Amino acid sequence: MYSDKVMDHFANPRNVGVIPDADGVGQVGNPVCGDMMTFYIKVRDGRLADVKFQTFGCGAAIAVSSMVSEMAKGKTLDEAMAITNDLVAEELGGLPKNKMHCSNLGADALHEAIKDYRAKKAGAAAKPVPAADLHASEGCACPYCETALEDEEQTFCKACRIELEECPACGGITKKGEAACLHCGRPLGGKA
C-alpha cells in the first residue's frame, strides 16, 4: 500500500519540532480526516534556512510533512512555493488515492508559513485560510472504498453504503460501530 520511502519518512520523520522564533508559521487541517499540520520556517538571505513541522494525523500525513520539510530546506521562497502535492507524492514514490489529500495539506501548510513570513515583512498580519476553503474542491475519500465524500459533514458513504463516524481521539473517519479507529487504533466504544 505504501512505498518504502513513505514508510521510512513515517518511521523516521525528519525536521519534527517547533522553531520558537520562527519567521513564518503556517497551519492547515482537514477536520474530516483529522490531519492537522503546522510548519515553522526560518529565512536567511531569501532562502529557507530551517523548516520544522508538527503533524497530528495518519502515517501518510507524517511522511508528507517530513518530505515537504526536506524538499523545502535551502530553497528560495519562490522555489518552495512551487512545491505541489504532485511533486510531494512523486518524491515519496506515490501515495494511495485516498491519501493524496495529505500531500495537499503538506504543501499548503508550507505555503501558509511563507505567506505569513511575507505578510510580516510587509507589516501586515497574514489571514489564516479556513480548512474548508483550502480543500473545498478536493474533499476527502471514504477510507474503505476511496470514493470521494461530498462534504465534511457526510456520515454515510453512498458508494460502499457504510455509515461513518469521527474518532474522538484523532478526528479520523472510520466505520460507525467499529471497536477501534482505523487511523489511530484507539477504542471507539462501539461494537464491531
Contact 147, 159 (CB under 8 A): yes
Q: Cα torsion at 185, 171, 62, 181 (round to 10°)?
A: 20
| DSSP annotation string for 44-103 | ETTEEEEEEEEEES-HHHHHHHHHHHHHHTT-BHHHHHT--HHHHHHHTT---GGGHHHH
Residue 50 grid cell = 530551517
* Positions marked catalytic: 33, 102
Residue 192 grid cell = 464491531
Q: Which amino acid is at 91?
A: E
Contact 88, 106 (CB under 8 A): yes
